[in-house]
Amino acid sequence: MWKLRKLTGATNDYVRSLKIGLGSLHAGLSYALRSEGSKPCKMNLEKMEEVYRKWEARANPAQQNSQTRMVWTPAEAGGMPISKQRRNDKFREDPPPERRRRRSGKLSHPPSLDLVPELARFKYTPPAFYDMTGGQRPFMGRCCANCTSGSREMLFTSDIPGMGFRNVLKFNKPRGGIIARYFPQIYLAYSEGVNYSYPSAGELAKEVLGSRRVHAAIHKGAISDSEGRAKEEFEYNKALQGHARRAGQVLGNMAASTSNVVLRITGWVLLKVLGMILFCVNVHQGQIEMLKRAAKEGVPLVIMPTHRSHLDYVLMSFILYIYGIRVPFVAAGDNLNIPVFGWVMRKLGAYFIKRKLDKEVGKKDHVYRALLHTYMEEVLRTNQNMEFFIEGGRSRSGKALAPKGGLLSVIVDAYYDGIISDAFLVPASVGYDKILDGDFTNEQMGRLKKKETFIGALKGIWGVFTSKFGQVRVDFAEPFSLKEYLDSAQMPSPLTSELSSHGIHRPHPHPVLKKTVSDHSLYGTDVVVEDQRQLVRGLGEHIVYDAVRVNSIMSTNLVSFLLMTKHRQGVEFSKLVEDAEWMKGEITARGRDVGFSGEMRAVVKHALALMGRNLVNTQSRQQRPDVVNETESQDAKKTRVTEKAKEGAEKEGEKQAGRDQMVVPNMALPEVFVLSYYSNTVISVFLLESVLANAVIAVANQEMHTLNPGQQNKVTLSKDRVLQKATELCDLLQFEFIFVPPCGCLYTALSDALDKLIISEIIQSEQDVSDGCSSQDSRWARRVASSSAWGIDDDKDDEDFGICTKEEQITVNSSPELLQKLFFFQSVLGPLIEGYWLTACNLVRLLDRDLPESEFSSLVSDYSQDRVAKGLAIYTESCAMDTLRNAWRLFQHWKVIDSYQDAEKIKLVHLKEPFRNEQKLGDFIDKIEAFRT
Ligand SMILES: CCCCCCCCCCCCCCCC(=O)SCCNC(=O)CCNC(=O)[C@H](O)C(C)(C)COP(=O)(O)OP(=O)(O)OC[C@H]1O[C@@H](n2cnc3c(N)ncnc32)[C@H](O)[C@@H]1OP(=O)(O)O
């Protein structure tokens, strides 16, 4: 069986169904026959299918004439519950066919290679896109072709995408003796993890405390403490001793002391425990293969996953361990350094860092910074792998956070200072069917975060053990060379000239980097040039962008996204299934993979079950006669009903049963935050199209209301205006998303997205009438240059710039179905826009007086929640604290508001000029409101 599996590329033990084997073989064969240069098959496809048909007839006569149907086992079928016996069986090897036949009386699995001798000669060539169902699914995670083209080809080979998936909790060894048979977890924990040597905490401490940087920082600290004191020299010596003692203590609390024994025990425990709470943890073997290849290059791997759950770092280290890659040193916030757990984490590679380096604003903790910098440097010097969560904490909204630059800058400095010759940077992400510790509703309601405690951790663990969390998919992007990235970032590229020709300032110019070896402060920031900061910022953004792009969409993400966008009022179950199928197609068409497979009906049921009654209610239609899908026009509904009538009797019967069930999302506070948390993962897939849909509707404004679905009247818009509006929206949401990587061009990306809308006929392109005018690109560029964000003077119109007013026109397609799609895209960003508008409206409170930050923040939050209570909010989730806070940050960034400390050291927020004027502030609010039409 395992030989057959290996041969067919079906990597999962559960994939035992004849159809799957046949499907894979069919896909492999057809690809092999199609692909250029592949060896000709010695056996023809019909003959092989005939052999299998005969076997199928013998094995299962009842199904002989039935329709081809994939029989998916739990892990693949969206993680359906598996029977206890099956779960116990999952580590067991397949018995030889004869024994199997003896036991069950009939053959239950495809024949072994001995029974089909022809198969042994068949050489399988995997297709470029490969699915266990024999279909196609995108391979995600290739690194950037713009700035790391060398790395892109270095680790990737054509067989990578076809390597398929593996559930890392599953025992995959064919033979392993008694231990493997009876104690599979022990066997796996011992046989696969490799005994690497890790530097001890003591060794590292010696190097760090003896370094010039740390000495200089202690000296600097002592001088600043003793300055101006009476007995200066005495005070200096006292302070010096104090700082030296503190340095030792800080390092003692910080340093990891990785132990192979603890790793092995934990590996064993995790195999047991994860198997109890999760159906599977899937990884793409091709991604792992690239990781392994990178690990063999002799330079450190720096893994930077997006952060959703505490399980993230456990899974990362566990997977590396299982695949025999050195486990990384992981930067952990010191809030996690709690009794017992802290000790264990240290033994597993965690080193503890302060989450805020400086206690007081404007006063740098030089000693701490020097210690952290040198510690990381020493770890890198010994060629250890590293991991840190570049977002600096778990996302509260399900969207990725902006990257932090501190630890990343140490890696960059280590390269420039010659500590490492290079490093492989690995963006990664984990997709969860159900998040283990993702209840951030309190924080989204504006309440304070609870501190981590030992008891709290135990309670959390208990909660985890008593629940089921479906499946998990871990994705690693292709590792890329730090050296190559930095080199390319410093080389003028045609892209950058393109950007400047569009008048767009990108945070990725060609920095003139200096060697920044400094003795005095962390990362040498006393001499760091702004360009270097931008370079690190750009690298961080690229990593987060890549990590988001490699994130698989899980069943719960997909279902909640549909419920939050298309079906906020509820939907029939069968329609939900239909839409989920459509949505899956849309996602994979955009190069993103989904973390489930199998029959969509089962997948949706599975997702609904995991989300639970708290989030979605399923009730019979009779119970809710008033509930209709508001976003669906009557015409569209009629068409759908007629289409349904044409479907086959069996399918129709099934649908009839499903139609009685209404799936109604819980849009009440605070549950809606959990739904939007799941749903937000999908936004990145449709981000730019959604920006454009909002821009089109904002530009069309009142005209949009005159559009009668299905009628001949049309709304004609200037393409330039739409693109300009889209840029404004990207600017508005700059703290929410990374729209393009730093090496990319927003204009090109938006144009491409508009083309997508045109291809899908949501928007129609009119003939270009710009004869004799300046090129479309330059017109657009001037508009962007002139609009310089928001509150800025933009009274000037085209004539002021001497620009020809004849422009390329686009029209909104008035077909009901396509209009519906446009509004669907619009609704993706709707809640965020409403949240920003709400915060802007609350700025009026600052016209009379300055307010303490905390008071202003709770006023905005209360006001938004009050609107929800009164039924005034379009989107309930618009009052999420995360959104309100980001809006506030943006207004600070735009210099609409500012904050300062008063005499009692209370932080106050105030309106800046010219926005202290009612009229100006009103105009500013109106501009945001334009997107709410
Ligand atoms: C087999 C079994 C396996 C089992 C397996 C179990 C595994 C068991 C492992 C447990 C592991 C737990 C893991 C928990 C997971 C977390 O706890 S996540 C939270 C902790 N991690 C992080 O935060 C990492 C990312 N954060 C950072 O990098 C942040 O910058 C820092 C270092 C925390 C500092 O943050 P901050 O105080 O807010 O300061 P920030 O503004 O970022 O800047 C600080 C300095 O960095 C430098 N800097 C910042 N930006 C830049 C830039 N763009 N360019 C240059 N320099 C810059 C500057 O020097 C700056 O100082 P200034 O010159 O501005 O004064």
| Residue pLDDT, tens place only, 166-182 | 999 886 555 667 777 76
Going 550 to 556 to 560 to 566, the CA torsion angle's sign is: positive
Is the beta carbon of 389 within 6 A of some atom in ligand 1?
yes
Q: Tally Cβ neighbours within 10 Å of residue 500.
A: 13
pLDDT at 2: 44
State if residue 388 touches ligand 1 by the CB under 6 angstroms criterion: yes
Per-residue pLDDT at 22 = 44
In the reported structure, the alpha carbon of residue 391 is separated from the centroid of ligand 1 by a whole-number distance in angstroms of 8
Q: Which atom of ligand 1 is nearest to the CA of 358?
A: 37
**609, β-bridge pairs:** none
Q: Residue 388 C-alpha to ligand 1 middle, in angstroms?
A: 7
DSSP state of 900: E
Say if residues 79 and 470 touch (Cβ distance below 8 Å).
yes
| CA 253–ligand 1 middle distance (angstroms) | 16
Q: Whose CA is nearest to atom 62 of ligand 1?
A: 525
Average pLDDT of span 309-337: 94
For 153-157, 631-635, 848-852, which range has the lowest pLDDT when averaged over its residues?
Answer: 631-635
Please tell me the least confidently modeled range out of 158-162, 643-647, 712-716, 858-862.
643-647
Element (H, E) at 618: strand 616-620
Selection from 419-423, 633-637, 758-762 with the highest mean pLDDT: 419-423
The closest residue, in CA terms, to atom 5 on ligand 1 is 314
How many angstroms separate the alpha carbon of residue 266 from the centre of ligand 1? Answer: 26
Whether 525 is in the pocket of ligand 1, judged by its Cβ within 6 Å, is: yes
CA of 365 to the centre of ligand 1 (A): 15
Distance 148 CA to ligand 1 centre (A): 24
| Closest residue CA from atom 10 of ligand 1 | 350
Q: Which atom of ligand 1 is nearest to the CA of 335?
A: 17
331 lines ligand 1 (CB under 6 A): yes
Is the CB of 528 inside a 6 Å radius of any atom of ligand 1?
A: yes
C-alpha 586 – ligand 1 centre gap (Å): 36
**Number of CB atoms found within 10 A of residue 644's CB:** 16
**Range name among 145-149, 638-642, 727-731, 863-867 with the lowest pLDDT average:** 638-642
- In the structure, what pLDDT confidence band is assigned to residue 491 with cuts at 50, 70 and 90? low
Going by pLDDT thresholds of 50, 70 and 90, the confidence category of residue 150 is very high
- Residue tagged 């701490």 (tokens): 368
pLDDT at 65 over 90: no
Give the model's pLDDT for residue 109.
35
- Indicate yes or no: pTM above 0.90: no
Query: 166 by DSSP, 3-state: which?
Result: strand
Lowest mean pLDDT among 275-279, 463-467, 585-589, 689-693: 463-467
Residue nearest to ligand 1 atom 38, measured at CA = 356
DSSP 8-state secondary structure symbol assigned to residue 744: S
User: Is the model's pLDDT at 6 over the cut of 80?
Assistant: no
Decide whether any atom of ligand 1 lies within 6 Å of the 313 Cβ: yes
In angstroms, what is the span from residue 392 Cα to ligand 1's centroid? 6
> Could you report the per-residue pLDDT of 30-40, keeping only the tens digit for each?
433 333 333 33
Evaluate if residue 519 carries a pLDDT over 50.
Answer: no
Cβ of 404 below 6 Å from ligand 1: yes
Residue 386 alpha carbon to ligand 1 centre in Å: 12
Q: Given this model, what pLDDT does residue 702 score?
A: 67
Higher pLDDT, 444 or 912: 912
Q: Which of 360, 523, 526, 530 to mutate to test the pocket of ligand 1 (most atoms within 8 A of CB)?
A: 523
104, 162, 369, 626, 707 from 304: Cα distances, Å: 49, 25, 21, 48, 48
Locate 774 and state its tokens.
């300046």
Lowest mean pLDDT among 79-83, 235-239, 473-477, 734-738: 79-83
Query: Tens of pLDDT along 820-831?
Result: 999 999 999 999
- Out of 329, 347, 351, 357, give the residue to mutate to test ligand 1, the one with the largest number of ligand atoms within 8 Å of its CB: 357
Report the atom number in ligand 1 closest to the C-alpha of 521: 59
The two structure tokens encoding residue 585: 């197609």
Minimal-distance CA residue to ligand 1 atom 18: 393
Rounded to whole angstroms, the Cα distance separating 106 from 357 reads 67
Per-residue pLDDT, averaged over 420-436, amounts to 95
**Tokens matching residue 498:** 């393109």
pLDDT of residue 710: 58
Q: Cβ(351) to ligand 1 under 6 A?
A: no
Average pLDDT value for the chain: 77
| Closest residue CA from atom 55 of ligand 1 | 533
Question: Does the pLDDT at position 479 exceed 80?
Answer: yes
Q: Which atom of ligand 1 is nearest to the CA of 390?
A: 25
Q: Is the pLDDT higher at 819 or at 441?
A: 819
Say whether pLDDT at 402 is over 60. Answer: yes
Which of ligand 1's atoms lies nearest the C-alpha of 349? Answer: 9
Tell me what the mean pLDDT of segment 634-638 comes to: 41
CA 331 to ligand 1 centroid distance, Å:
7
What percent of the chain is predicted at pLDDT more than 70?
A: 68
Q: Is 588 in the pocket of ligand 1 (CB under 6 A)?
A: no
pLDDT score recorded for residue 226: 79
Residue 195 has pLDDT above 70, yes or no: yes
Distance 377 CA to ligand 1 centre (A): 14
DSSP designation for 553: B
pLDDT higher than threshold 60 for residue 812: yes
The finding on whether 826 has its CB within 6 A of some atom of ligand 1 is no
* pLDDT at position 317: 96
Nearest residue (by CA) to ligand 1, atom 29, is 406
Quote the pLDDT of residue 798: 44
CB-ligand 1 contact for 355 (6 Å cutoff): yes
Task: Pick the residue whose CA is nearest to atom 58 on ligand 1.
Answer: 406
Say which residue, 120 or 339, is predicted with more confidence: 339
Count of alpha carbons within 13 angstroms of residue 739, beta-carbon side: 26
Kindly give the number of the ligand 1 atom that is closest to the alpha carbon of 407. Answer: 28
Which of 169, 364, 409 to probe ligand 1 with, by most ligand atoms within 8 A of CB?
409
Q: Which protein residue's CA is at the shortest distance from atom 60 of ligand 1?
A: 406
Q: For residue 390, report the distance from its CA to the centre of ligand 1, in Å.
A: 7
Spatial neighbors of 125 by CB under 8 A, at least 6 apart, are 28, 31, 32, 35, 38, 39
Judge whether 743 and 542 are in contact, CB under 8 Å. Answer: yes
Q: Are 182 and 91 in contact (CB under 8 A)?
A: no
CB atoms within 10 A of CB 377: 20
Ligand 1 and 270: CB distance under 6 A: yes
Query: Which residue's CA lies nearest to atom 9 of ligand 1?
Result: 350
Q: Does residue 684 have a pLDDT over 70?
A: yes
Segment 357-378 mean pLDDT: 89
CB 214 within 8 A of CB 247: yes
- At residue 128 the predicted structure's pLDDT band, cuts being 50, 70 and 90, is very low
Q: How far is the CA of 410 from the centre of ligand 1 (A)?
A: 10
Q: Give the separation between CA 352 and CA 334, rounded to whole angstroms.
A: 5
Report whether the peptide linkage leading into residue 509 is cis, meaning its omega lies within 30 degrees of zero: no
Model confidence at 440, pLDDT cuts 50, 70, 90, reads confident
CB atoms within 10 A of CB 371: 28
- Chain-centre distance for alpha carbon 317: 18
pLDDT on residue 349: 96
- State CA 80 to chain mean position distance: 24
- Does 403 score more than 90 pLDDT? yes
Sheet with 851-852: strands ordered across: 851-852, 907-911, 897-901
Residue 428 pairs with which residues in a beta bridge?
Answer: 305, 476
Half-sphere exposure of 907 (CA within 13 A, CB side): 9
Residue nearest ligand 1's atom 63 by CA: 525
Residue 228 Rama label (left phi>0; alpha psi -120 to 50; beta): left
**Ligand 1 pocket: which of 303, 525, 537 to mutate (most atoms within 8 A of CB):** 525
User: Closest Cα to atom 3, ligand 1: which residue?
Assistant: 318
Signed CA dihedral, 140, 144, 149, 150: sign only: negative
- The predicted pLDDT at position 41 comes to 34
Range among 520-534, 702-716, 863-877 with highest mean pLDDT value: 863-877
Mean pLDDT for 621-638 is 44
- Using the mean position of ligand 1's atoms as its centre, give its distance from the Cα of residue 406 in Å: 5
